[in-house]
Amino acid sequence: GDSVTQMEGPVTLSEEAFLTINCTYTATGYPSLFWYVQYPGEGLQLLLKATKADDKGSNKGFEATYRKETTSFHLEKGSVQVSDSAVYFCASRSVVGDKVIFGPGTSLSVIP
């Protein structure tokens, strides 16, 4: 069945460091891919998405490119801030069925 795998956390970075959170997926057909973020004490919210191969999603300085050949959707940010501290979830939604499949989440802590 469909699945999403992402790098284990927690990840701790200093402010202004470069961030990469790896995500790979297995899916039937051509899924849409998402990154959701959960800030402390808040609900899940969409960070960015990409709906077809080679699409790049971007928001708030974060980027991720839909790589069909490597079945990956890695999240990157050039310079993280303390306010980026949160749990990040990679997710996919396939043409087969309507459910969104989430990865286990990666906790990011950014220290000043």
Partner 1 sequence: DAGVTQSPTHLIKTRGQHVTLRCSPISGHKSVSWYQQVLGQGPQFIFQYYEKEERGRGNFPDRFSARQFPNYSSELNVNALLLGDSALYLCASSKTPLIDEKLFFGSGTQLSVL
Residues at the interface with partner 1 (CB under 8 A): 4, 31-32, 36, 42-46, 49, 51, 89, 91, 93-95, 97-105
Shortest spacing between CB 39 and partner 1, in angstroms: 11
Give whichever of 17 and 26 is closer to partner 1, judged by the CB atom: 26
Shortest spacing between CB 13 and partner 1, in angstroms: 20
Q: What does each C-alpha distance from 56 to 12, 28, 70, 98 come to in angstroms?
A: 25, 21, 15, 23
Give whichever of 42 and 69 is closer to partner 1, judged by the CB atom: 42
Whole-angstrom Cα distance, residue 55 to residue 73? 10
Tokens of 97: 């069925």
Give whichever of 77 and 93 is closer to partner 1, judged by the CB atom: 93
Shortest spacing between CB 70 and partner 1, in angstroms: 21
Helix or strand run (H / E) with residue 37: strand 32-38
Tokens of 67: 């790589």
